[in-house]
Structure 1
Amino acid sequence: MNSNLQFDFIVNKENNTVNIKREFAANLELVWEAWTNPEILDQWWAPKPYRTETKSMDFREGGMWLYAMISPENEKHWCKNDYQIIEHQKYFSGLDAFCDENGDVNTDMPRTLWTNNFTENGETTTVTIVAKYESLSDLEKIIELGFKEGLTMALENLDQYIEAKFKLRKQNKTNNEARVCSYLNFPGNTEEAFLFYRSVFKTEFIGKGIERFGDVPSSTENWPPVADEVKKMVLHVELPIVGGHILMGTDAPKEMGFTLTSGNNMHICLEPETREEADRLFSELSVDGTITMPMADMFFGSYFGEFTDKFGINWMINFQSRNK
């Protein structure tokens, strides 16, 4: 975990609650998605060496998330969260419980009433969590079971997911000269495609060449569980073609929360010379379009945003100063 990110953990035995405030180095949209998309939750929610496997999820008021915490010996410990109140990208609450694979509650174990508030603070997002219990004995039992240690590890897993999701190509661009790139997403065959393109254009990959999900360095040992087949997939690759144009590519596996369809698998990526030009391009090109990520300073050093314009064309705007 980045030690500069806020993490408060306070046990209040007077009202049977645990109060947590945790900051993440990503915008609100990404952090909300990480807490509400089962494919992403499966990547980080369980503390190691356990992993999470979702059986079903219906993220709506009155809906339920049914999932298993799976041990290294493949033992499944079932849990569920009954969602109560949801305000999109602001707040959600739910009553969590240990249960069986059908969702029948284990009444011998405490239930946790979670309330999660999401607040964007420029380039970071803070999640304020209250975990409330029916009695002091329930609270003490959960603490004894390692609640703080387990949650801390899970949240560090999310840090690492964010790092992998947004790791960009700092080493591949060494100056502020403007350039235009095409960013291609593939369902798992990026390497095959780019080896083909390399043979056609007779050029070589830029920077470190083909980077894979399994190559991403982590600041801690708590790397989120990623299947071996995903680790082998391509995280990023760049290939110059003609006229100074760059093809960039990545695999977009469903295990990491991606859903590819024809039309969303390609972006035009603009890398202007100045921050002001990045703002202008974003503002003018996105008129009457759909903004999927507003321009913001990202923890990896870029000023970045993306959108689909009014004609259905996908764009990325990426400014990264080399003067830092």
Structure 2
Amino acid sequence: MKSTLLMDFVVDKKNNKINVEREFEAPRDMVWSAWTESELLDQWWAPKPWKAETKSMDFKEGGHWLYAMVGPEGERHWARADYQTIRPESFFSAKDAFCDENGVIDQQHPSMLWENNFMDNGEVTTVKVEISFEKLEDLEAIISMGFKEGFIAGLDNLDHYLSTQFRLRKENKTSNKPRVTTYLNFPGNTEEAFMFYKEVFNGKFTGNGLRRFGDLEMPSDMPPMSDENKKLIIHAELTIMGGHVLMATDSPESMGFKMEHGNNMHINIEPGSREETERLFEKLSEGGEVSMPLADMFWGAYFASFKDKYGINWMLHHQTANKE
């Protein structure tokens, strides 16, 4: 989190409320998605080493989110958020309570009403959260359970996710125009290979050219990377003859990959929308083998990798264009 971004947590015992105000370095549409889509909530809602795990979610007025906080030993604490009022990309309220795995409310623990406001100022979005309790004892019980520390840690997770995703979105994608490229995997010599292809085809490095693992801020839950691996290529982009684009990454065994002939080349599809990405994934992966299911990735893409029923390797990669 940048030190210039606002973070304020106030316990108002007089009115039985908690007020939280937090700024994020990302546009409002991205912040709103992170609070209202289960795939993204699961990435940040829980303080590490805990994680959030959604069982079901229907984000609409009258709908609810049923999820578990999963501990490092596999223990689960269930909660349910019932959505009351929703004004897209501006405000939503929800009644949050402890429950069992079937969503039956636990009346022995306090519930709370969340009112979340989203306001933007260019590339910075402010989220104001007001959490109300029926009585002071309920507020104090929640605070004694470590709510402040846990929620702030979760917001730190979100700050890291959003700042990384927004920066990569600006750098990697300037247009939502669909395209098809060839994606190659190498065991550690991507740079050597692409310098060779550049000479052969009189090609031109495009996008960010050669980008190394050490150039990116990796998710905080990833293990430390060696200095040698930081020098490897995480993404290369070279335009060759006819405007065709070759892309590639290093996939060394030292990072858990196993390169084999047959898994070192993919047809990479960049659809113009999430909906088209989902349609293509459903159709192309049917009867095949999915290695990475469709999901939002830390570099800002909606991504999947799989082999179709004919043995052809595909990647789907939708990344929202920078609006600047």
TM-score after normalising by structure 2: 0.65
Asked if the contact 1:63/1:83 (under 8 Å) is kept, the reply is yes
User: What residue in structure 2 maps to residue 119 of structure 1?
Assistant: 119
Structure 1 residues 131 and 163, CA, compared in 2 at 3 Å: closer, same or farther? Answer: same
Instruction: Name which of 254, 277, 296 aligns with 1:256.
Output: 296
Residue 255 of structure 1 aligns to which amino acid in structure 2? A
Shift of 1:3: 1.2
Per-residue Cα deviation, 1:131-184 (whole angstroms, up to 9, x for no partner) = 111110000111111111111110110111113323449999xxxxxx999886
| CA distance in structure 1 between the aligned counterparts of 2:68 and 2:16, rounded to whole angstroms | 26
Q: Which amino acid aligns with 2:240?
A: I
- For the residues of structure 2 that align with 1:180 and 1:116, how far apart are their CA atoms? 31
Match of 2:147 in 1: 147
Taking only aligned residues, the RMSD between alpha carbons, in angstroms, comes to 4.3
- Deviation digits for residues 98-127 of structure 1 (CA, Å, limit 9, x no counterpart): 111100111111111100000011110000
Q: Note the 1:125-136 alignment, pairs <5 A.
A: 125-136=125-136
1:7 aligned partner, one-letter code: M
SS in 2 for 1:72: coil
Within 5 Å, give how 1:1-324 maps onto structure 2: 1-168=1-168, 190-192=183-185, 198=194, 202=200, 209=210, 211=212, 216-217=216-217, 223=219, 236-242=235-241, 254-256=294-296, 259=302, 265=317, 304-305=322-323
How far apart, CA to CA, are the structure 1 residues paired with 2:118 and 2:84?
Answer: 16
Instruction: Output the CA distance in 1 between the equivalents of 2:160 and 2:113.
Output: 26
**How many residues are treated as equivalent by the alignment?**
255
Query: Tell me, what secondary structure is at the counterpart of 2:65?
Result: strand
Q: What SS does the aligned partner of 2:8 have?
A: strand
The answer to whether the 8 Å contact 2:57/2:64 transfers is yes
Aligned CA distance change for structure 1 residues 236 and 37 (closer, same or farther; 3 Å) = farther
Q: What amino acid is the match of 2:96?
A: D
TM-aligned CA distance change 1:120 to 1:244, over 3 Å: same
The alpha carbon displacement at 1:211 in A equals 4.7
Gaps of 5+ in 2: 224-232, 250-267, 271-291, 305-313
* Sequence identity (%): 44
| SS of equivalent to 1:166 | helix
Q: Map Cα deviations across residues 260-282 of structure 1 (whole Å, 9 max, x no partner).
A: 699x8578xxxxxxxxxxxxxxx
Quick one: which amino acid aligns to residue 295 of structure 2? E
Contact 1:161 / 1:224 at 8 angstroms: preserved in 2? no
Give the letter aligned to residue 239 of structure 1: L
Is the 8 Å Cα contact of residues 43 and 224 (structure 1) preserved in structure 2? no
Corresponding letter in the other structure for 2:151: L
Distance 1:90 1:128 in 2: 11
Structure-2 residue corresponding to 1:275: none
Task: Name structure 1 gaps, 5 residues minimum.
Answer: 173-178, 228-233, 268-291, 294-303, 306-316, 318-324
Partner of 2:97, secondary structure, is strand
Residue 12 of structure 1 contacts residue 18 of structure 1 at CA under 8 Å; is this kept in 2? yes
Distance in 2, matches of 1:154 and 1:99, equals: 21
Q: Which residue of 1 aligns with 2:262?
A: none
Shift in Å, 1:7: 0.8
Closer/same/farther in 2, CA of residues 244 and 260 from structure 1, 3 Å limit: closer
Letter in 2 for 1:241: I
Q: TM-score, normalised by structure 1?
A: 0.65
Higher mean displacement: 120-129 or 247-256: 247-256
**CA shift for structure 1 position 245:** 8.1
TM-superposition CA deviations, 1:6-61 (whole Å, max 9, x none): 01111111110001111000001100011001001110000111001100000000
